Amino acid sequence: MGGPEIERLIELLARLPGLGPRSARRAALTLLRQPRTRLLPLATAMEQAANSVRTCDACGNLDSRNPCSICADEHRDHSMVCVVEGVGDLWALERAGVHRGLYHVLGGTLSALGGTGPEDLSTAPLLARLAGGEVREVILALGATVEGATTAHWLAERLASFGIAITRVAQGVPMGGALDVLDDGTLAAALMARRS
């Protein structure tokens, strides 16, 4: 159509989540129309990210520093660790700006169907951090799914021996959410956890 370079670009773009073949062609065309001002800067940004971003040894976050800028931040509360499934969840909490402590990225949830067992999750760095003695509370911020609940239960048991507070994020009606469009499970959880 326009040489192997264009075909390859479209093929790789189409593998991105959120882009299909059609939108990959449209994105490729947009980039190819401005090779100097759009295509090359994106290529450079990707190369720099690939060469600099590493997984933080202490928490599993992705950062160009190791330990990551959150773990290295002396102004954050090192006595609280929020456990999340993935880096995307960490990003969401950071955007919301609601957690001033540290994080631990598990890298998944236990799933019999998905074939994810305890050995596939990253727990050693968390246990090492807890053994350090500075942490007083671990917040389990896992998804409100069967896998999330199973993983939270399993992890809470593993952490019980440290004698620190283990909490979970609350379940209920999301902000701005109308009751009549919520599923039964959310309604039940919200009703059971009612507050005066």
Non-local CB neighbours of 62 within 8 Å, separated by 6+ positions: 53, 54, 55, 56, 68, 87
To the nearest whole angstrom, how small is the minimum distance from the Cβ of residue 58 to a copy of itself?
14
The reply to whether 145 sits near a copy of itself by the rule CB under 8 A is: no
- Contact (CB, 8 A) for 121 and 154: no
Interface characters, 63-82, with a copy of itself (x: CB under 8 A): xxx--xx-------------
Place of tokens 């993983």: 151
Interface characters, 110-129, with a copy of itself (x: CB under 8 A): --------------------
To the nearest whole angstrom, how small is the minimum distance from the Cβ of residue 195 to a copy of itself?
31
To the nearest whole angstrom, how small is the minimum distance from the Cβ of residue 108 to a copy of itself?
12
| Segment contacting a copy of itself by CB under 8 A, of 12-20, 116-124, 129-137, 160-168 | 12-20
> According to CB under 8 A, which residues from 37 to 66 bind a copy of itself?
38-53, 61-65
Of 53 and 193, which has the nearer Cβ to a copy of itself?
53
* Single-letter code of the amino acid located at 62: L
- Residue 169's Cβ-side half-sphere holds a number of Cα atoms within 13 Å equal to 19
Which residue blocks in 34-182 are alpha helix, DSSP H? 40-52, 87-96, 124-131, 146-159
